[in-house]
Structures are given as structure tokens and as C-alpha cells.
Amino acid sequence: MIVTVTLNAALDRTLTVPSFQRGHRHRASQVLTLAGGKGINVARALKRLDVPVVATGLAGGRTGTRIVEELTAESILNDFVRIGEESRASTAVVDPMENSYTEINEWGPLVSAVELETLREKLHYLSRGADFVVFAGTLPRGVAESFYADAIRDLSRRGVKVVLDTEGEPLRLGTEAEPHLVSPNQREAEHVVGQELEEEEDFLMALDRLAELGARNVHITLESGCFGLFREERRVRRYRALAPAVEPVSSVGAGDVLLAQFITAQLAGKSAEEALRLAVAAGAASTLEIGAGRFDPRDVGRFASGVEVQELHRIAAA
């Protein structure tokens, strides 16, 4: 079983508006409403991969009720802590003619210390039968930047493998807590390592830097694929995986699907290289649908043969 944790859950509303122009009146050709937040997106992808998953986190007010109802409607098991303040909503406009995506996010709720302690107790209970616990997404107001780091250390002491996908200081502090895997995108990795990543050697440096901070395994996702560092068979291996060329509808949530497929492949006993190949294929498949975490699992096998995986080696300094 996998437990996903979304502290800043949202109700995501996506409008498809062909030829969208700012300042003009439009009529949406399609409207999609889903429970959202990165952890929920991962849970949705795991559900599509037939992996037992429980989504937990914080949900408040009418929006929080709607988030839980949407998850239940998708048959995604969930066990959220109810909080006093209203959960956030987000609105996105997708223009298929220009392949553009415009998103407006609300601020998250202010969370109390008592509500956070209730979540910690729930995590202790849910993690007893978990193979992985996935912390994903931003932290709402009132939550210390060290929350993920503290939770990772606590769960690691209990023998639970923890995956972290977040940004900023919570990512840096969480990486220092030695999670099983961190999975930032390029921009998030750049913030931690303190420089832009452009050349292959830059990404190799960033992989090593995140590993030196404490992560046992590392993904750095980007639109063209993924760089990865994995500890396997007492060796450290580094890879670059290039996604096959597809005509994307929306790339939102592709990294969440990639992460879900990687975890699924690891649970199935796949090597890190093969797990990365399948993960990048799943990320590519998810760009064919609107709605984060949504994809056709049959496309993963179809795209996997088109994923180019190359093992990389650091050049020793002279």
C-alpha cells in the first residue's frame, strides 16, 4: 500500500478555451473539476495503475468536503483530517490551439498546531501497513518549513520508505532528513543547488548535490524527460531518460504521474533503469489528457520503447 499526503489540497477546475485571449469574453468548450494537489495527483495515478493507495492530508470547509467527495467518486480511498479554515481552489485555462496553460491558485488555509498533531497521529496509523509514504506539494500557512523533514525522520525510524516532492526550503530541509527518494522538477532543483541547470554536467552536479544533502535516490524532472541518481546493488548509478515525441494536450501533473509509475515499478521489482524508462513513458502518456494524474496505462507500454535511457558518468576533476 502507498500513502500519499497532501497538506495543501485543492479543488482544481480546468477550463478548455480555444484561442484564449486576455481581456476578451470566451465560452469554455470543456470544464473538468477534480480534487487536486500533488499528493492527490500521485494517488490518482497510482489508482489507475491498480496500486492500493490511501490519500490523506488536510481538508477544510465546503471546498474540503468537495475534495473528499471527488476522491470518493473516483474510488480513491481517502482519510483526511478536517480543519477549520477553507481549503483552496484553483482555476486553469487550457488553450489547445496555442498549447498554453494559465493557472490561478488561491492561498492555502491557515493550519493550527492541534490540526497538524492530528495529522501526525493519522500518519502513524496509516503508515503501519505502507510500503511508501509520499509527501507532495506545498505547505499551507501556519506549517513550519521543517514539517516534512520532521515527518520523514519520524517515519524512517519506523522503517517506512518516504518519498518527497516539494519546493524551496521544505525541499532542502526534507532532503537533509534522508528520504528514500526526492523528485523535484528542474526549477525546484535549481533553487536548492543555487544555480541554473543547463548542460548535462549541471544536472549531474545537481543529482550529486541532492544525494550529498541526504537523499538516497533522486529524480530531476523536466519536460523532455528526467535525470536520475539511484543507489542500486551497492553502486551509485546516474541516468538521463528522454521522453518520446508526442503532441501534448497539457503537461500539468506529468511529474506526478512519472513519480507514481516509478514507485509502482520499484514495488514490482524492476531495476532502477527500467523503472525510470516506464516512469518517463507514463509522464509522456499523461500529457495526452487534461487533468493532473489522468492517463491511459496502456500508453505506458506503447511509449516505453521510445524512451531513450542513457547511463551517465561524472568526469573526474583534473
| Helical axes 38-48 vs 61-73, angle rounded to 10° | 10
Amino acid present at 291: G
Q: What is the pLDDT of residues 22-36, one digit of tens each?
A: 888 888 888 889 999
Please, are residues 185 and 255 in contact by the beta-carbon 8 Å criterion?
yes
Q: For the CA atoms of the chain, what is the radius of gyration?
A: 19
pTM of the model: 0.94
Give the chain's residues under pLDDT 70.
315-318
Identify the pLDDT of residue 4.
Answer: 98
Report the C-alpha gap between 269 and 249 in whole angstroms: 32
Q: Whole-angstrom Cα distance, residue 114 to residue 279? A: 37
Q: Which domains does the chain have, with CATH numbers?
A: 1-19+29-143 (3.40.1190.20), 223-318 (no CATH)
Helical residues (DSSP H) of 127-199, grouped into ranges: 147-157, 168-176, 186-193
- Read off φ and ψ for residue 84, nearest 5 degrees: -75, -40
Quote the pLDDT of residue 316.
Answer: 54
Distance CA 163, CA 160 (A): 10
pLDDT of residue 315: 64
Q: Compute the 3-state secondary structure of the chain and give helix, strand, coil in percent, each to the nearest 5.
A: 40, 30, 35
Single-letter amino acid, residue 203:
F
Task: Identify whether the C-beta of residue 247 lies closer than 8 Å to the C-beta of residue 207.
Answer: no
Find out whether 38 and 12 touch, Cβ atoms under 8 Å: no
Give the CA diameter of the chain. Answer: 61
Task: State the Cα–Cα distance between residues 245 and 259, nearest whole angstrom.
Answer: 20
Amino acid at 290: I
The sign one gets for the Cα dihedral 190, 9, 267, 308 is negative
